[in-house]
């Protein structure tokens, strides 16, 4: 019989705040974290919008601990330090072999990679390059640095699945604890904003450009006038453990994870499949032993792209019906890519604990091509959320769905 899995600590770095109180206030007050930047124009990148987080100073850690970190790893470390403190974990618990670390990102530090390759190709020699430089931009830099900084000696599982990196990390940590393989887990994901990230989506005609001079008006998930996503950065970390363990040590559960579903379309690298998305949602509900009628809210992936929002809306209609309230918090932060699954999970928990649903920012007129759903827009909606779902989808047709219950 599967063990019940609860969340006992959260930490984050996001464009709308880096503490639960800051984030809750921002969601309640409809504040966003999107800014205009002129820095990308010289690269021929048309979008000028991003969701930015300040590089955390991390004074509690020494130079030796941080020498192999780029910004993405530092964001992850800051979020994880907050989650550990929130959960009240001891060093002995972190060092125990039964503690699992599952952490994701789209890739390593793109800023560190640029600096490294710029010097390499300019000089056409490896002399002068730091031997530790690669460690900043290797694909598992977040997981590796977290293990080193916090002394994790148990299993470490890096996840690199683009926009589902963090949600798959949470899901796989949940499965490990539910099955009894591990007792405690640190899990989540992070992303670092860089011109190459903005440029990739700009090339795909998927980045917002129409609102470059009106940062408060984009992205616009599900809206008729949306014109693409806004790239962003940040990190989110959750502490998971069995309910029995949490009770035994006197920890207060913030929420329970009751379902996880992950599927692959197996069809196209970039074009989303409503059938694949719906399959992930159904799998999460099946894992939770629930039907769609039990859900009180869905935090949609909804990035503000033309095709993605339409496909996702029809997937939700097929899997969940038209009753469940839906919104996307990407209107507040932009798309934090490898970190969004954890960051948006924390936003969902904030709404569950606060008794409200944050509306989708900038959703004024629902695109008629989107399915007929209960879109939360305009004003904050008071709501008692006993069960909530968070969905994320990634290139490669990778789909994830997580279901949370109020404890």
DSSP notation for 121-146: HHHTS-TT--TTTHHHHSTTHHHHHH
Which of 18, 140, 142, 163 does the annotation list as catalytic? 163
Show the tokens assigned to 235: 């990190």
Strand partners, 255: 7
Which of 332, 335, 340, 370 does the annotation list as catalytic? 335
Show the tokens assigned to 362: 């900038």
Kind of pairing between the strands at 325-327 and 374-375: parallel
What is the spatial distance between Cα 136 and Cα 74, in angstroms, rounded to a whole number?
Answer: 10
**For the chain, how many residues are written?**
407
Show the tokens assigned to 324: 């469940």
3-state SS, one letter per residue, for 289-332: CCCHHHCCEEECCCCCCHHHHHHHHHHHHHHHCCCCEEECCHHH
Burial string for 202-215 (b: 16+ CB within 10 Å, else e) reads beeebbbeebbeeb
Among candidate residues 379, 390, 383, the one with its CA nearest the CA of residue 30: 379
- Answer yes or no: 264 catalytic: no
Query: Which residues, 6 or more positions from 313, have their beta carbon under 8 angstroms from its beta carbon?
Result: 222, 370, 371, 373
The angle, 0 to 180 degrees and rounded to 10, between the axes of the packed helices 195-203 and 110-123 is 90
What is the spatial distance between Cα 109 and Cα 126, in angstroms, rounded to a whole number?
Answer: 20
The H or E element that residue 58 is part of is: none
Please state whether the peptide bond connecting residue 278 to the residue before it is cis, i.e. omega within 30 degrees of 0: no
Count how many Cα atoms sit within 13 Å of the Cα of residue 340 in the half-sphere of its side chain. Answer: 33
- Answer yes or no: 301 catalytic: yes
What is the spatial distance between Cα 275 and Cα 318, in angstroms, rounded to a whole number?
Answer: 8
- Answer yes or no: 335 catalytic: yes
Which of 32, 140, 301, 332 does the annotation list as catalytic? 301
Positions marked active-site: 163, 301, 335
């Amino acid at each position: 019989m599967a063990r019940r899995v609860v969340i006992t600590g959260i930490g984050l770095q996001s464009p709308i705040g880096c503490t639960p109180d800051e984030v809750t206030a921002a969601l309640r007050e409809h504040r966003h974290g999107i800014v205009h930047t002129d820095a990308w124009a010289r690269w021929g990148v048309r979008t000028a919008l991003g969701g930015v987080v300040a590089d955390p100073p991390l004074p509690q850690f020494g130079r030796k601990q941080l020498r192999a970190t780029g910004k993405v790893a530092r964001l992850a470390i800051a979020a994880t330090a907050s989650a550990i403190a929130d959960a009240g974990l001891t060093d002995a618990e972190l060092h125990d072999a039964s503690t699992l670390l599952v952490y994701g990102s789209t890739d390593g530090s793109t800023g560190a990679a640029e600096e490294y390759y710029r010097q390499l190709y300019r000089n056409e020699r490896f002399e002068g390059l730091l031997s530790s430089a690669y460690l900043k931009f290797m694909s598992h830099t977040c997981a590796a640095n977290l293990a080193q900084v916090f002394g994790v000696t148990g299993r470490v599982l890096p996840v690199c699945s683009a926009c589902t990196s963090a949600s798959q990390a949470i899901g796989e940590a949940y499965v490990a604890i539910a099955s009894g393989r591990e007792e405690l887990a640190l899990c989540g994901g992070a992303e670092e904003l860089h011109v190459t990230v903005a440029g990739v989506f700009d090339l795909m005609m998927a980045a917002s450009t129409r609102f470059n001079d009106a940062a408060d008006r984009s992205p616009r998930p599900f809206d008729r006038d949306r014109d693409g996503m806004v790239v962003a950065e940040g990190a989110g970390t959750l502490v998971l453990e069995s309910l029995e363990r949490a009770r035994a040590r006197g920890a207060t559960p913030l929420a329970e994870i009751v379902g996880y579903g992950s599927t692959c379309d197996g069809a196209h690298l970039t074009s989303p499949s409503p059938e694949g998305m719906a399959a992930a949602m159904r799998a999460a509900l099946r894992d939770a032993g629930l039907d769609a009628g039990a859900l009180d809210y869905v935090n949609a992936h909804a990035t503000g792209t033309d095709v993605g929002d339409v496909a996702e809306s029809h997937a939700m209609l097929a899997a969940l019906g038209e009753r469940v309230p839906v919104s996307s918090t990407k209107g507040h932060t932009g798309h934090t890519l490898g970190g969004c699954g954890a960051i948006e999970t924390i936003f969902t928990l904030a709404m569950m604990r606060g008794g409200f649903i944050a509306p989708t920012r900038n959703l004024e007129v629902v695109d008629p091509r989107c399915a007929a759903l209960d879109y939360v827009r305009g004003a904050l909606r008071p709501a008692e959320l006993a069960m909530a779902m968070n969905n994320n989808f990634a290139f490669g047709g990778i789909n994830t769905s997580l279901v949370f219950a109020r404890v």
